[in-house]
């Protein structure tokens, strides 16, 4: 890979155009996708009791909040394009930062795009009256998902303003639609059924190992709280805006997720939820009949389309930051002369996402994503212990209850990964993902690492 070279004096650059509420919309829109609509079935199957079910969603919310509060401080201190990549680089150096970018390239981002676009395609076909689980529509899912990736990439290619507009509109639609389902379920469901909240802990409904596996599904639903940091270099007044947006957005997501699970239990017993692939649609079906199913399907479509757009708005900035640092091909750091977007990076992510979605299933994509991203979230959060020792460190926001909050996040991460390795069903897939991540070490030393080593030797001489 080429060494770092200075940018031309008049080269186009990324512009700070995102305000507070657009930044909040990016976080909420990147987080609320398909997870809250399809994860409850898998979570309830592992924890078939109202209290264990709510406990794992609360745990996932606390996990996300601890990470978000820590990143709110780091993002305010380092409001640069790349987010998590920048925090890992500042705290732990270039090799760990490279490994994050490597994992984003070969595993994380393409898997995320594939899983989100697959859900969008499934519900688009359902709205059109087709069953996506049977041929030939099961094959069409992959092609529709690929087209969706290409369409959202186009919005973000032609300007941050277009990508942000799509994000704002879809975020309002998805949050409003989910809130409508919650209000409807609580207002109509509890008077009819009295709710299905007892027995709170049925016999056999809680095991530590099952809790850990269920937490993986919950974290898939919560993922997105860190995505705003990727686009920090394009946020107005970043030292003030970014911490506020991260805290407001994460709390809003936690609130609607917990309310949604209360609403589901208000209408359906646990045994029904665990067999419901789209629990919100079944709740709406019970309350208002077929129109409710159409409404929920449309809400899921808008939700996943908005998340897909948010992913293509934020994630290409990681590769842009890597290239700008000299850890990737310099061309990837190019900014479009007309649209002021990292267009090469956007095209790269788009191609990877389309390839993954054409070759893999939703379950394979979602599990790969969560396993690969969590260790780097832990590294980014742990970077706070390093950067706080710097004399020039002066963040506009300080993580409350420090160091308890970041320590809790790191402990939860270790529990999650340890549980995945111990469990026979997830052990080998987890180890395979870790192996691919570690493969980035020889790649680093065979490429950019040699240039870094030579530069150090020359400097020492």
Per-residue CA distances from 190 to 278, 292, 387 (Å): 20, 18, 50
d(CA 109, CA 126): 26
Contact, 337 vs 12, CB < 8 A? yes
d(CA 319, CA 406): 26
pLDDT above 90: residue 406: yes
Closest by Cα among 109, 116, 103, 102 to 31 = 116
Contact, 369 vs 220, CB < 8 A? yes
Q: For residue 380, what is the enclosing H or E element?
A: helix 362-387
User: And the tokens for 128?
Assistant: 């059109």
Collapse the DSSP code of 13 into the 3-class scheme (helix H, G, I; strand E, B; otherwise coil) and give the result. coil
pLDDT above 50: residue 338: yes
pLDDT above 80: residue 461: no
pLDDT above 60: residue 10: no
pLDDT above 70: residue 458: no
Predicted local confidence at residue 168, as pLDDT: 92
Residue 400 is classified by DSSP as T
d(CA 261, CA 420): 25
d(CA 369, CA 76): 26
Predicted local confidence at residue 131, as pLDDT: 79
CB atoms within 10 A of CB 414: 13
Q: What are residue 235's DSSP bridge partners?
A: 18
pTM confidence score: 0.87
234: left (phi over 0), alpha (psi -120 to 50) or beta: alpha
Q: Under 8 Å CB-to-CB from 193, ≥6 apart: which residues? A: 266, 267
CB atoms within 10 A of CB 202: 15
d(CA 457, CA 461): 6
Contact, 298 vs 128, CB < 8 A? no
Render pLDDT for 126-167 as a digit per residue (tens, 0 to 9): 778 887 878 888 889 889 999 999 999 999 999 888 889 999
Phi and psi angles of residue 394, each rounded to the nearest 5 degrees, phi first: -145, 75
Q: Is 62 exposed, middle or buried (0-12, 13-18, 19+ CB in 10 A)?
A: middle
Mean pLDDT of the chain: 86
Render pLDDT for 27-42 as a digit per residue (tens, 0 to 9): 999 899 877 887 888 8
Predicted local confidence at residue 425, as pLDDT: 74
∠ Cα 3 349 442 (to 5°): 45
pLDDT above 60: residue 452: no
Range of lowest pLDDT (200-209, 282-291, 301-310, 353-362): 353-362
Predicted local confidence at residue 182, as pLDDT: 92
Contact, 109 vs 153, CB < 8 A? no
pLDDT (average), residues 316-341:
91
User: And the tokens for 41?
Assistant: 């079935």
d(CA 239, CA 215): 32
Predicted local confidence at residue 25, as pLDDT: 93
For 20-460, CATH number?
1.20.1740.10
User: And the tokens for 394?
Assistant: 């002066």
Contact, 106 vs 456, CB < 8 A? no
Check residues 367 and 46 and name the one with the higher pLDDT.
Answer: 46
Predicted local confidence at residue 251, as pLDDT: 95
Task: Quote the percentage of the chain above a pLDDT of 70.
Answer: 92
H, E, C per residue of 233-301 = HHECCHHHHHHHHHHHHHHHHHHHHHHHHHHHHHHCCHHHHCCCCCHHHHHHHHHHCHHHHHHHHHHHH
């Amino acid at each position: 890979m080429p060494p770092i070279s200075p940018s031309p004096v008049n080269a186009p650059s990324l512009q700070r155009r995102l305000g507070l509420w657009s930044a909040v919309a990016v976080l909420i829109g990147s987080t609320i996708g398909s997870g809250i609509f399809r994860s409850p079935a898998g979570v309830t199957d592992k924890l078939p009791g109202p209290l264990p079910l709510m406990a794992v969603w609360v745990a996932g919310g606390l996990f996300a909040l601890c990470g978000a509060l820590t990143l709110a401080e780091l993002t305010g201190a380092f409001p640069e394009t790349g987010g998590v990549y920048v925090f890992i680089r500042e705290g732990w150096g270039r090799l760990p930062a490279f490994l994050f970018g490597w994992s984003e390239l070969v595993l994380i981002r393409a898997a995320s795009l594939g899983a989100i676009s697959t859900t969008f395609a499934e519900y688009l076909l359902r709205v059109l009256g087709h069953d996506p689980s049977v041929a030939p529509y099961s094959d069409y899912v992959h092609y529709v998902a690929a087209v969706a990736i290409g369409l959202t990439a186009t919005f973000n290619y032609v300007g941050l303003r277009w990508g942000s507009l799509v994000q704002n509109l879809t975020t309002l639609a998805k949050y409003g639609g989910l809130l409508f389902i919650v209000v409807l379920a609580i207002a109509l469901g509890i008077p009819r059924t009295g709710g299905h909240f007892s027995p709170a802990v049925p016999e056999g409904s809680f095991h530590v190992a099952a809790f850990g596996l269920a937490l993986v599904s919950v974290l898939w639903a919560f993922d997105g709280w860190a995505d705003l940091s990727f686009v920090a270099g394009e946020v107005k007044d970043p030292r003030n805006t970014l911490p506020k947006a991260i805290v407001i957005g994460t709390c809003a997501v936690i609130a609607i997720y917990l309310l949604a699970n209360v609403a589901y239990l208000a209408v359906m017993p646990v045994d029904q939820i665990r067999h419901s692939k789209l629990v919100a649609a079944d709740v709406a079906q019970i309350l208002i009949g077929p129109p409710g199913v159409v409404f929920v399907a449309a809400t899921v479509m808008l939700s996943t389309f908005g998340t897909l757009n948010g992913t293509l708005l934020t994630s290409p900035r990681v590769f842009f930051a890597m290239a700008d640092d000299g850890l990737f091909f310099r061309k990837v750091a190019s900014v479009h002369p007309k649209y002021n977007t990292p267009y090469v990076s956007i095209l790269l992510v788009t191609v990877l996402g389309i390839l993954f979605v054409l070759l893999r299933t939703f379950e394979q994509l979602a599990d790969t994503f969560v396993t690969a991203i969590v260790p780097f979230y832990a590294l980014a959060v742990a970077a706070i212990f390093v950067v706080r020792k710097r004399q020039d460190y002066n963040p506009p926001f300080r993580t409350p209850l420090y160091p308890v909050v970041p320590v809790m996040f790191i402990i939860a991460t270790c529990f999650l990964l340890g549980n995945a390795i111990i469990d026979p069903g997830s052990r080998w897939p987890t180890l395979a993902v870790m192996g691919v991540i570690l493969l980035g070490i020889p790649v680093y030393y065979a490429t950019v690492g040699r240039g870094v080593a030579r530069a150090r030797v020359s400097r020492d001489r």
